[in-house]
Amino acid sequence: MQRRRGLSLGRVLGLALLLAMAVGLAAWWRRPPAPLEVPTRLAERGSVEELVVSTTQGVVRPRRQVQVRATVPGNLLSVAVAEGERVREGQVLAVYDDRVLAAQEAVAVAQAEASARLLAQARAAAGVGAIPPAELERVEDQAAVAARQAAAVRAQRTPYRVVAPFPGLVTRVLVEAGDATVPGAPMLELVDDGALHVQARIDETDLPRVREGQPVRVTLDAWPDDAVPGEVGRIAEVVTQEPPFARTVALEVGLPGAGGTGGPYPRPGMSADVEIVVGRGEGVVVPTVAVFEREGERYAWVVAGGRLQRRRVEIAAGNWEWTAVSAGIDPGDRVVVATDTKGLAEGRAAVDAAEGRAAAAGPGREGR
């Protein structure tokens, strides 16, 4: 008699467990993917400036800068200014010991004045016929000679007084009273800080967009958070090649002159960054990192209805930080600002990263 063989209880339970695991695995495999967390920013209507930025840091320069030099040999009697002092045009900066010439001038001036008085008397006498015309002529000649001699001595003293050739700031004093100098020796340095400019360079590809008179923002390293207004001035006619391959154009940016002791105001020698405003565009403003370009097409990713949308966009204006979009994005859209596009796909579920962290943290808690 044959025994009937059946499944043991253990085998039945094992098969049931395997079946349950298979069903669970299939359900997990078919589950919708978790929403992708992406950083976003709310698009808003506004305007954006088109900028041309200097390729390297510029330097603040005075329009005029001179080294005042000695023109005569001699000893300095006095130095009338100090470093950091402001002077007006024609102001005496230093005086040589010209006491001998001063005495000669005093004698010559006295002789010229005496000759002038004699000439006045001779003309009065000649008017009534008291002296002959030849005598009047002789007195006139004497007076003219005395006047020329006085002027000549006065002219000899002129180089002995060193004066400022223009109004400005004394930046260095290289001599002191009692020093002996020879012609050509440096004495002082003077800058006209009432007319400053920045010497900067731009890439040659930006040249067609730059012209004289355009507004400029100048940022000084001393005050990086405060911009100084300027204006494009002279633009060089020559393109310069810089190693290894860059080709740049030099230009000057006019600045307001010195004023006050508290910043921000430019001083000669300061380093500065230059931003030339070459245009302005209106539209929906988004961060520039939100706009991508591939094969000539510009686009942005938008989170709408919990899903990613790839939007083709048209640009009105842009700079390194912001871009004004004229078509493709509306005010209030959530624009993805991720620089890494990995995982971005049309129609994929997505949520703002900040909202995702808050949801994960639970009610009453802040996501980290």
Residue 119's pLDDT band (cuts 50, 70, 90): confident
DSSP 281-341: EEEEEEEGGG-EEETTEEEEEEEETTEEEEEE-EEEEE-SSEEEEEES--TT-EEE--S--
Q: Is residue 333 part of a domain?
A: yes
What tokens does 111 get?
Answer: 């002789």
Q: Is residue 271 part of a domain?
A: yes
| Same domain membership, residue 176 and residue 78 | yes
- Of the listed ranges 4-8, 59-63, 255-259, 326-330, the one predicted with least confidence: 4-8
Q: Is residue 248 part of a domain?
A: yes
Q: Is residue 28 part of a domain?
A: no
Q: Is residue 366 part of a domain?
A: no
| Same domain membership, residue 247 and residue 108 | no
| Same domain membership, residue 186 and residue 78 | yes
Identify the residue with better confidence: 8 or 202.
Answer: 202
Q: Which of 306, 226, 209 is nearest to 262 (CA)?
A: 226
CATH number at residue 221: 2.40.30.170
Identify the residue with better confidence: 210 or 139.
Answer: 210
Average pLDDT over residues 113-128: 83
Identify the residue with better confidence: 106 or 39.
Answer: 39
Q: Residue 234 belongs to what domain range? A: 52-63+192-279
User: Tens of pLDDT along 318-364?
Assistant: 888 999 999 999 999 999 997 776 788 899 998 888 764 544 444 43
Q: Which of 359, 364, 360, 339 is nearest to 39 (CA)?
A: 339
What pTM value is reported for the model? 0.62
| Same domain membership, residue 187 and residue 72 | yes
Peptide bond into 243 cis (omega under 30): no
The pLDDT value recorded for residue 362 is: 40
Of 249, 279, 309, the residue that ends a domain is 279
Of 230, 250, 279, the residue that ends a domain is 279
| Same domain membership, residue 274 and residue 169 | no
| Same domain membership, residue 160 and residue 112 | yes
| Same domain membership, residue 239 and residue 215 | yes
Number of domains in the chain: 3
| Same domain membership, residue 196 and residue 305 | no
Residue 302's pLDDT band (cuts 50, 70, 90): very high
| Same domain membership, residue 251 and residue 184 | no
